[in-house]
């Protein structure tokens, strides 16, 4: 697999390089379980887009006989490899994944999107025939799907089931990490680094949700908690913000 995939095409970013091993580890766990990855290249052979999708039974939703698109991304920054958006790469990647899912015998394909007009827009999927199933969370994460057969069953969100608890006299920072998402991986690395600055006053706890049984225990895929307080991670909070939030809790012990 191309190393640029592990960095989500952001090989110009030092933080992406630092977080990249998490995605490579996740890929090695999933590559023999049905994970599919496709890269889009331009006429020069330069990679400009990517899509990753896998059987829904392995993921953070409830479903059966569907493939689920975890991420589709066409590089849009001028830095690094440059801006490849508005050239049809996203549409081509989506069609390739849909055709592959059909040929693999899936009864449908599903995805998640954001109701707000930025990355992974739900409206973009709707333009290509996906239908909304339900919405979850503050940012309006939308679950969508496109059935191929009449007996296909729509997926359902799996909701948060419990939160971490703190140890008396300490601040507990819990980072949930799946490994599949660069944003989640960067958040994990920033939180781990921030915790190291507070000595034994802060406990850093990693929970690996690439094991679906662990995910099902918590109902959280990627997440960051300071004691039992959730930190918003979309987009990844800045390192200084994480450090500042931890410091506020440390002052209270």
Domains defined along the chain, listed by start: 33-157 (3.40.630.30), 171-251 (3.40.30.10)
State residue 138's pLDDT score.
60
Range in 87-91, 182-186, 230-234 the model is least confident about: 230-234
Q: How many angstroms separate the CA atoms of 171 and 32, rounded?
A: 39
Is the pTM for the entire model greater than 0.85?
A: yes
Q: Which pLDDT band holds residue 38 (cuts at 50, 70, 90)?
A: very high
For the chain, the first-to-last Cα distance in angstroms comes to: 47
pLDDT at 133 over 70: yes
Question: Tens of pLDDT along 189-230?
Answer: 999 999 999 999 999 999 999 999 999 999 999 999 999 999
Check if the beta carbon of residue 113 is closer than 8 Å to that of residue 125: yes
Range in 66-70, 84-88, 146-150 the model is least confident about: 84-88
Longest dimension (CA), the chain: 59
State residue 1's pLDDT score.
64
| Residue 46 CA: distances (Å) to CA of 36, 50, 100, 118 | 20, 12, 23, 24
Check if the beta carbon of residue 87 is closer than 8 Å to that of residue 46: no
Check if the beta carbon of residue 138 is closer than 8 Å to that of residue 232: yes
For the chain, percent of residues with pLDDT exceeding 70: 99
pLDDT at 139 over 70: no
Q: Which pLDDT band holds residue 119 (cuts at 50, 70, 90)?
A: confident
State residue 235's pLDDT score.
86
Average pLDDT over residues 166-194: 96
């Amino acid at each position: 697999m191309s190393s640029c995939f592990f960095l989500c095409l952001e090989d110009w970013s030092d933080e992406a390089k630092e977080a990249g091993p998490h995605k490579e580890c996740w890929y090695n766990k999933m590559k023999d379980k049905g994970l599919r990855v496709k890269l889009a290249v331009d006429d020069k052979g330069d990679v400009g887009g990517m899509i990753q999708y896998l059987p829904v039974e392995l993921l953070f939703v409830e479903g059966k006989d569907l493939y689920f698109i975890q991420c589709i991304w066409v590089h849009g920054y001028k830095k690094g490899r440059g801006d490849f958006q508005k050239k049809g790469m996203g549409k081509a990647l989506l069609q390739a994944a849909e055709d592959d899912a059909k040929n693999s015998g899936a009864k449908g394909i599903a995805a998640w999107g954001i109701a707000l007009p930025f990355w992974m827009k739900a409206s973009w999927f709707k333009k290509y025939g996906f239908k909304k199933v339900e919405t979850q969370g503050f940012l309006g994460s939308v679950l969508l799907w496109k059935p191929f057969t009449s007996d296909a069953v729509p997926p359902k969100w799996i909701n948060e089931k419990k939160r971490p608890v703190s140890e008396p006299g300490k601040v507990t920072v819990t980072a949930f990490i799946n490994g599949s998402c660069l944003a989640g991986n960067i958040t994990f690395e920033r939180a781990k680094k921030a915790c190291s600055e507070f000595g034994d006053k802060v406990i850093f706890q990693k929970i690996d949700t690439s094991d679906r049984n662990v995910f099902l225990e918590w109902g959280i895929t990627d997440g960051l908690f300071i004691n039992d307080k959730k930190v918003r991670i979309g987009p990844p909070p800045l390192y200084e913000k994480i450090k500042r939030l931890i410091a506020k809790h440390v002052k209270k012990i």
